[in-house]
Amino acid sequence: MNDILIQNGRVIDPASGRDEVCDVTIAQGLIKHVGKARGKARETIDADGAVVCPGLIDLHVHCREPGHEEEETVATAAAAAVAGGFTTLCAMPNTHPPMDNDTAVHYVLHRGGEADLARVLPVGCISKQREGKGLAEMGLMLDAGAVGFSDDGDGVASTALMQRALQYTGMIGAPLMQHCQDPELMTGAMNSGPVAVRLGLGGIAASGEQIMLQRDLELVRRTAAKYHVQHVSTAGSVELIRAAKADGLPVTAEATPHHLLLTDAACMNYDSNYKVNPPLRTAADVQAVRQGVADGTIDCLASDHAPHAKEEKELEFNAAPFGIVSLDCALALYAKALVATRLLTWPELIARMTVNPAAVIGRPLGTLSQGAQADVTVIDPNKRWTIRTRAFASKARNCPYDGWRVRGRAVCTIVRGQIKFRR
Amino acid sequence: MAKKASESSEGPEPHAQAHADPPGQFVWTRKDLLGLDELSAEEITHILDTADTFKEVSTRSIKKVPTLRGKVAALLFFENSTRTRMSFELAASRLSCDTLLLTSKGSSVAKGETTLDTARNVAAMGVDIIVMRHGQSGAPHMLARNMPESIVNAGDGSHEHPTQGLLDIYTIRQRLGTLQGVRVAIVGDIAHSRVARSNILGLKKLGAEVVVVGPPTLVPQAMTAMGCEISHSLDDVLPDIDVINMLRIQFERFSSNLFPSLREYSRLYGLTAERLKLARKDILVMHPGPINRGVELTSDVADGPNSCILQQVTNGLAVRMAVLYLVSQGTE
């Protein structure tokens, strides 16, 4: 007997190009069959009118564990993930201490296993202590289960270290994920430009992102590494990535909900819920990032879910930490930025949240092919709802979308053939 | 106005009565003064007009009115200040408003308390108005979002210094009779100056033209979005302006390579008697203080006939009385 039968849903599996109304059956944690269901199941989900797709993957989540469990834990991040329809999250390594060794990778994997909600796949540091000086033990971390490497929160400023890191990850085959930002061109808390000048806040120049990206692309050209651009925020970066792809470089990229929806004008009242790194940019940048996602220049959507405690965000804009949480509501935000604007269809949106991020980390996830891991998300694409941060499964409330009316919501999230969330 | 005997021993006249009907038909509604950015031309003019009526108080033999008797203003100064702090203290005192003073030294700020917690604790003692100077742009906005008390910005980081802007504008209006079409140059570290922002925003709203002057490292191009012109040559600008406001140069700036040396800065952008010959004879020379004599201004200019620097300080008192009075009437 099957474990789960999902009936009559619009099954969208971008990996195989499937888009039809049919059934999905799951047994022993694997996809058993997609098509007309055969046999009975212990549990039947009526997906009439809903989309049934591979479990959504978020390449960029800050779980804050170890070190800042008051902000978020692996368990609460994983709970927010499944509530938002995500079956896999990649945990960033800017923890305290930083995840820069195999023991730390084991720890985060262990906490993910204990939570037993979404899959938690660790991303290790590029440099020891995330200090940008010496290479971290990336080979050992890879063996322990890391799926990629990043010093996220900071870019790797040293050109020599970045070259070594790319040579090294080229050897071990893991993606190197870069937070592109020249640290010397970062002298403030928001996007450089007229709004920052008016507010008397120092700026984070768009050129700081593009200069590091341009340097990295030059290095990628000379190595075999897989290079992934995190949270693309400027029109110039989109253009650079587009040109690099046209040149055949092994480059991938991600965009966040906030860089698809918000501009630096939102900072006008010094509300630190709009303080994020990379910062909110201009309307032209938002349009360019959307266009980049639409034409495939930007392969993936990733939340950069960055939880902070209330008291940390209740500080002066400069003193407050960077970060926005959105795991609970990211799917609806992407739909608002990309589907409601007719830039993407639902199958195209789902590709950027499933098969594409799976390819970046080289894992056999993000597909409904027979025998694949039974990670499945059921989405009601027409569900209208209001984002209420107080109802988040995440611990954090540093979210500027509270009260937003949105459309589209996960109604059931299945991980390894088990229902982890149902609405 | 009719003089009336008063039972108050503090002042000869219940000034509040004189202000029950503010100048013009305008009704002030704001409980906070955070910056000139959010004020309309009408609101700015109303503050200036109110300051006019308060100016007279300082000419009396007993320089005090009971307007804000029973009210408490807490002065939270997280950054050094002489002029602004003393001016607010005296302004409050002339209105019979009690004051509490906190300077960051010796307060619980040193113990790691957040600004919001400090302000809330002070407010819990029964404070009506919080006047705050803070090193971070937007700090008073954070308080205003979270607290019911009136918040008056006495300078926030590089953002605004609204009462300084108001007293500068007041002084120009007093001397020139109008702001319409008046050309004002502001010279110096515009990028980091809260005085510059409040002046630019306020002056533009009242119809003046503003040109900001300094090297590109201190004058961001994006400043033009606030409606001002930009020049990198003081000599080019001087012949064509009515007012020149010389900002204090912060010594720490040249460590971050914003200009090569004080010597070079002073040579390019300092106002000397020699350079002043390029300007109109009746040009008004202003400075928010404290002056670095010999750097942005030479002594003969600072103390010369064109200077209205001390008049600015005198006017500051009336402007701050007006601000304290108005925000305490505010309902929003």
Q: What is the mean pLDDT of residues B209-234?
A: 97
Other CB atoms within 10 A of residue B255 CB: 7
| Cross-chain Cβ contact B225/A200 below 8 Å | no
Q: Is A107 on the interface with B (CB under 8 A)?
A: no
Same domain, B227 and B306: yes
Please check the confidence at residue B104 and state whether its pLDDT lies above 50: yes
pLDDT confidence of B110, banded at 50, 70, 90?
low
Contact criterion met (CB below 8 Å) for B171 and B205: no
Contact criterion met (CB below 8 Å) for A260 and A283: no
Minimum-distance CB partner of B114 among A197, A200, A314 = A314
Other CB atoms within 10 A of residue A249 CB: 16
Q: Tens digits of per-residue pLDDT, A108-148?
A: 999 999 999 999 999 999 999 999 999 999 999 999 999 99
Q: Is A184 on the interface with B (CB under 8 A)?
A: no
Q: Tens digits of per-residue pLDDT, B156-167?
A: 999 999 999 999
- Backbone dihedral region for residue B138 (phi beyond 0: left; psi -120 to 50: alpha; all else: beta): left
pLDDT computed for residue A337 by the predictor: 98
| C-alpha separations of B276 from A39, A298, B273 in Å | 96, 58, 5
- Sequence-distant (≥ 6) Cβ neighbours of residue B77 within 8 angstroms: B85, B101, B102, B103, B104, B132, B133, B154
* Type of residue found at B264: E
Q: By a Cβ cutoff of 8 Å, what residues of chain B touch chain A?
A: 37, 114-116, 134, 136-139, 141-142, 145-146, 156-160, 191-192, 194, 197, 220, 222-223, 225-226
Same domain, B46 and B29: yes
Contact criterion met (CB below 8 Å) for B60 and B12: yes
Per the domain annotation, does B321 fall within a domain?
yes
Same domain, B74 and B201: no
Q: Is A173 on the interface with B (CB under 8 A)?
A: no
b/e burial code for range B82-108 (CB count within 10 A of at least 16 → b): eebbebbbbbbbbbbbbbbebbbeeee
Task: Note down the domain range covering B98.
Answer: 23-158+316-329
Residue B310 main-chain phi, psi, to 5 deg? -75, -30
SS3 A33: strand
Same domain, B167 and B119: no
Per the domain annotation, does B2 fall within a domain?
no
Minimum-distance CB partner of B223 among A197, A202, A318 = A197
Residue A55 per-residue DSSP state: P
pLDDT confidence of B107, banded at 50, 70, 90?
low
Q: What is the CATH number of the domain that holds B245?
A: 3.40.50.1370
Q: State the Cα–Cα distance between residues A16 and B273, nearest whole angstrom.
A: 81
Same domain, B84 and B153: yes
Mean pLDDT of chain B: 91
Minimum-distance CB partner of B159 among A192, A194, A200 = A200
| Cross-chain Cβ contact B157/A311 below 8 Å | no
Contact criterion met (CB below 8 Å) for B97 and B72: yes
Q: What is the mean pLDDT of residues B213-225?
A: 95
Closest CA to B287 of B262, B308, B304: B308
Minimum-distance CB partner of A315 among B114, B137, B223 = B114
Residue A229 β-bridge partners: A178, A253
Per the domain annotation, does B7 fall within a domain?
no
Contact criterion met (CB below 8 Å) for A252 and A300: yes
Which tokens hold the place of A140? Answer: 């050992």
Same domain, B57 and B141: yes
CA distance A193 to chain B (A): 6
Q: What is the mean pLDDT of residues B226-249?
A: 97
Q: Is A310 on the interface with B (CB under 8 A)?
A: no
Q: State the Cα–Cα distance between residues A225 and A172, nearest whole angstrom.
A: 9
Residues of A in contact with B115 (CB under 8 A): 315-316
Same domain, B185 and B304: yes
Contact criterion met (CB below 8 Å) for A122 and A109: yes
| Cross-chain Cβ contact B225/A197 below 8 Å | yes
Same domain, B175 and B306: yes
Contact criterion met (CB below 8 Å) for A186 and A158: no
Same domain, B215 and B303: yes
| C-alpha separations of A361 from A149, A170, A194, B61, B222 in Å | 10, 13, 38, 81, 41
Contact criterion met (CB below 8 Å) for A256 and A59: no
pLDDT computed for residue B331 by the predictor: 76
Q: Is A190 on the interface with B (CB under 8 A)?
A: no
Query: Which CATH code of 3.40.50.300, 3.20.20.140, 3.40.720.10, 3.40.50.1100 fits the domain covering A57-361?
Result: 3.20.20.140
SS3 A97: coil
Per the domain annotation, does B82 fall within a domain?
yes
Which tokens hold the place of A91? Answer: 């945990």
Q: State the Cα–Cα distance between residues B50 and B322, nearest whole angstrom.
A: 6
pLDDT computed for residue B15 by the predictor: 46
Active site residues of A: 304
SS3 A221: coil
How many domains does chain B contain in total? 2
Q: State the Cα–Cα distance between residues B231 and A194, nearest whole angstrom.
A: 17
Q: State the Cα–Cα distance between residues A145 and A120, nearest whole angstrom.
A: 10
- Encode chain B in three state secondary structure: CCCCCCCCCCCCCCHHHHHHCCCCCCCCCCCCECCCCCCCHHHHHHHHHHHHHHHHHHHCCCCCCCCCCCCEEEEEECCCCCHHHHHHHHHHHHCCCEEEEEECCCCHHHHCCCHHHHHHHHHCCCCCEEEEEECCCCHHHHHHHHCCCEEEEEEECCCECHHHHHHHHHHHHHHHCCCCCCEEEEECCCCCCHHHHHHHHHHHHCCCEEEEECCCCCCCHHHHHHCCEEECCHHHHHHHCCEEEECCCCHHHHHHCCCCCHHHHHHHHCECHHHHCCCCCCCEEECCCCCCECCCECHHHHCCCCECHHHHHHHHHHHHHHHHHHHHHCCC
- Which of B158, B200, B212, B230 is most worth mutating to test chain A (most A CB atoms within 10 A of its CB)? B158
Please check the confidence at residue B67 and state whether its pLDDT lies above 90: yes
Same domain, B283 and B224: yes
Minimum-distance CB partner of A201 among B137, B160, B226 = B137
Residues of A in contact with B220 (CB under 8 A): 197
Q: Is A274 on the interface with B (CB under 8 A)?
A: no
Q: Is the pTM of this model over 0.80?
A: yes
Residues of A in contact with B191 (CB under 8 A): 197
| C-alpha separations of B219 from A197, A298, B188 in Å | 10, 36, 8
Residue A342 main-chain phi, psi, to 5 deg? 65, 20
pLDDT confidence of B127, banded at 50, 70, 90?
very high
Q: What is the DSSP string of A146-202?
A: --EE--TTS----HHHHHHHHHHHHHHTPEEEE----GGGB-SSEESSHHHHHHT--
CA distance B132 to chain A (A): 13
Please check the confidence at residue B208 and state whether its pLDDT lies above 50: yes
Same domain, B169 and B308: yes
Q: State the Cα–Cα distance between residues B36 and B207, nearest whole angstrom.
A: 14
Please check the confidence at residue B51 and state whether its pLDDT lies above 90: yes
Residue A9 β-bridge partners: A22
Which tokens hold the place of A215? Answer: 């340097």
- Sequence-distant (≥ 6) Cβ neighbours of residue A324 within 8 angstroms: A258, A273, A274, A276, A304, A305, A306, A398, A399, A400
* Type of residue found at B245: N
Bond preceding residue A400 cis, omega within 30 of 0: no
Same domain, B126 and B199: no
pLDDT computed for residue B14 by the predictor: 42
Q: Render each residue's pLDDT in chain A as its tens digit; 423 residues.
A: 789 999 999 999 999 999 999 999 999 999 999 999 988 899 999 999 999 999 999 999 999 999 999 999 999 999 999 999 999 999 999 999 999 999 999 999 999 999 999 999 999 999 999 999 999 999 999 999 999 999 999 999 999 999 999 999 999 999 999 999 999 999 999 999 999 999 999 999 999 999 999 999 999 999 979 999 999 999 999 999 999 999 999 999 999 999 999 999 999 999 999 999 999 999 999 999 999 999 999 999 999 999 999 999 999 999 999 999 999 999 999 999 999 999 999 999 999 999 999 999 999 999 999 999 999 999 999 999 999 999 999 999 999 999 999 999 999 999 999 999 999
Closest CA to A137 of A181, A93, A74: A93
Per the domain annotation, does B30 fall within a domain?
yes
